[in-house]
Structure 1
Amino acid sequence: MDICTAVAATKSGELLEQAMVERAKLIVVPALLSHSPKSVAGTITSFTVKSTNLELISLGGLTIDSWLRNGVTCYFQLSDRAKACEFYYNFASPILFLTKQPGGYACVLQTPEALSLGQRRSSMRIFPRPEYVLGFSLWPKGQFMTRCPETNRVKLNPPLINSNHLQENQIQLLDLSAGGMKLKIRHVGLKNVIAAWEEMPGVVIWLVLHDPQKKRNMTLWFKGRICYNHVDHSTKDIVSGLELTTEGIKEKSGKMVWRTVERRMIKDLATWTYERYLEATTRGVR
């Protein structure tokens, strides 16, 4: 379920027109895919008070009949130049007509009476405020823990990346979502990390986030994989996208149990990022 804030009905038409003129990308989610990370890309080609016409690239593997039996939810992003920030909007609507056309599909929706502020929770990304990121460590897969031969007990190895790197701006957490994150690794001071990064088979991450609403800290453990690396050839810095594939749950006994992340969404992380997004959006609206 997405948390949304209503937009005045009088402004909704202006926003739909802006989305059409700018050919803003719509994320279109039919009801049958609402619990899946899958979605369909589209754009608004025209609209009236009664109907809104979309162009869709595909139907997400579903049939026309299955789309027609269900409504859709559409998400899009627009820039507010006056406030110098981005806003995310969504609306739900029944489908009035759907047919195949060259290069995709033509879809006619009932024009919504009003829009809501808010992103799709599973695909939302935010830039976390530095004061809310209290701890961060990262280990290469397979180098997370070691057994001490003297005591036969398992202990943590020193991390490849730690909170000091974050505080010294050698590592930047560029964005955070319900199922992933984007890191920037600076070549200066971290040449050893850069050298090992592209060949890394996977990572283990420890992350501590502050929740200002609940006034508590949240400790999270993940395993993940590196999805892509973009190298700045002038600075040799790397921007890397990570998918979080496994979540570590600490039991009362102290034992860590690893559970596969389903639908690319970690519930606690999704809630935290969404609440921080709504805080920033509320400040922007004011």
Structure 2
Amino acid sequence: MARDEHEKFEIQFHSKSEKRRSTSCLLTNITPEALTIECNGLTNLQSSWVGKDVDCYFQVKKSSTGNTFFMFTTPIAGIRGYTDGTSVLTLKTPNKLEQRQKRASLRISPPSQYIMGLAVWSAPDNISAKGTLDIRQWGRPVLTYLPEKNYQITLDNISAGGIKVRIPRTEVRNCNLDFSIGDKLFLLLDMWDPDTGQRVRYWLLCRVQNPFIDFVTHDAELGMQFLYLAQPDAKNAAELRWNEEPIGSGLDSIGNWVMRRHLELYREKGI
């Protein structure tokens, strides 16, 4: 069903050096022995991947019961790369599926009153998420959202592992972003936490995951994965100090915020 519905598959590589390394793929073929998936976001293919396990997450849409989420773990059986940038992985057909959703994938379209601000800057390809970074060198953000003031970008949904935003077509032409998979963006996100009655601010380095241009409206939909979190330096508020560890499977604070908002919607509206 997932193959026939062209559902996105996300594979997560096991790694000792990183908490998370994942990419989006499309399942193209199934046999009793192997699964074939195509990926556009993989680079530096390595023959050493063969035989190593990956976790794979996907969902099946059911109109009566909503989405059902599955995952499985299986080894890579083969790798092929093509000149157009497409990579094809052959995975051993798993013995079992688990009905389980990746925590970082639990997402919500938050009530508008909880989003207090959003700003996006383009980050250089060679950006280092180590040490400090002077905010004053970034210049003006290329896209901003300020409630009741500026709507160059809107937040569609958020999870512990990333966000999806929508950019109107007029802004798509003006922001000078290529919307290419793998591009790095700086993100400033201000959210309201009704549990504490306080604003929560996040400075994040993100990776563009799933760029999509709506063929009807020509608006852009942009999925971004959280890579690194930064905090204002205690001695200089104009500088950010990057956390040394990558975000990995998601930010606990955002994941908890999303879960609480899910519960609120369920209690208030029964959804």
**TM-score (structure 1 length as normaliser):** 0.55
Change (3 A) 1:199 1:132: closer
Question: Which structure dedicates a bigger proportion of its chain to helix?
Answer: 1
The answer to whether the aligner puts 1:37 opposite 2:37 as a matched pair is no
The Cα of 1:133 is off from its aligned counterpart by 1.5
Residues 173-225 of structure 1: CA distance to partner in whole angstroms, max 9, x if unpaired? 123355654432335xxx6x555401699865431223456665421123567
Q: Equivalent residue for 1:110?
A: 95
Alignment partner, residue 146 of structure 2: 163
Q: Does 1:86 align with 2:67?
A: yes
Distance 2:160 2:244 in 1: 10
CA distance in 2, matches of 1:252, 1:31: 35
CA distance in 2: counterparts of 1:26 and 1:230, whole angstroms: 16
Deviation of 1:81 (Å)? 0.4
Q: How many residues align?
A: 239
**Which structure 2 segments of 5+ residues have no match?**
81-87, 125-133
- Aligned AA (2:19): H
C-alpha distance in 2 between matches for 1:236 and 1:101: 35
> Post-superposition shift, 1:55?
0.7
- Residue 248 of structure 1 is matched in structure 2 by 230
- Please give the secondary structure, in 2, of the residue aligned with 1:131: helix
Partner in structure 2 of residue 152 of structure 1: none
Residue 238 of structure 1, CA deviation? 4.3
Alignment partners' CA distance in 1, 2:216 and 2:57: 36
Counterpart secondary structure, 2:147 = helix
For residues 54 and 198 of structure 1, do their structure 2 counterparts lie closer, same or farther at Cα, with a shift above 3 Å needed? same
User: 5 Å matches for 1:1-286?
Assistant: 18-19=1-2, 26-29=9-12, 31-32=14-15, 35-38=19-22, 41=25, 42=27, 45=30, 53-57=33-37, 61=46, 63=48, 66-67=51-52, 72-83=54-65, 85-92=66-73, 105=90, 107-112=92-97, 115-119=98-102, 121=104, 126-138=108-120, 145=136, 161-164=144-147, 171-177=153-159, 180-186=162-168, 196-198=174-176, 204-211=186-193, 216-222=198-204, 237-240=219-222, 247-253=229-235, 255=237, 256-259=239-242, 265=248, 267-268=250-251, 271-273=253-255, 276=258, 280=262, 283=266
Larger radius of gyration: 1
Q: Structure 2-normalised TM-score?
A: 0.57
| 1:16-60 deviation line (CA, Å, top 9, x unaligned) | xx55775755434464488332358557847xxxxx754134897
Q: CA deviation at 1:226?
A: 6.9
Would the aligned equivalents of 1:178 and 1:265 in 2 still touch at CA under 8 Å? Answer: no
Are 2:228 and 2:246, in contact at CA under 8 Å, matched by a contact in 1?
no
For 1:53 and 1:90, locate their aligned partners in 2 and report how far apart those are by CA, in whole Å: 18
RMSD (Å) for aligned C-alpha atoms: 5.2
Cα distance, 1:82 vs structure 2 = 1.0
Q: Is this contact kept in 1: 2:29–2:36, CA < 8 A?
A: no
Q: Counterpart of 1:90 in 2: which secondary structure? A: strand
- Matched to 1:56, the amino acid is T
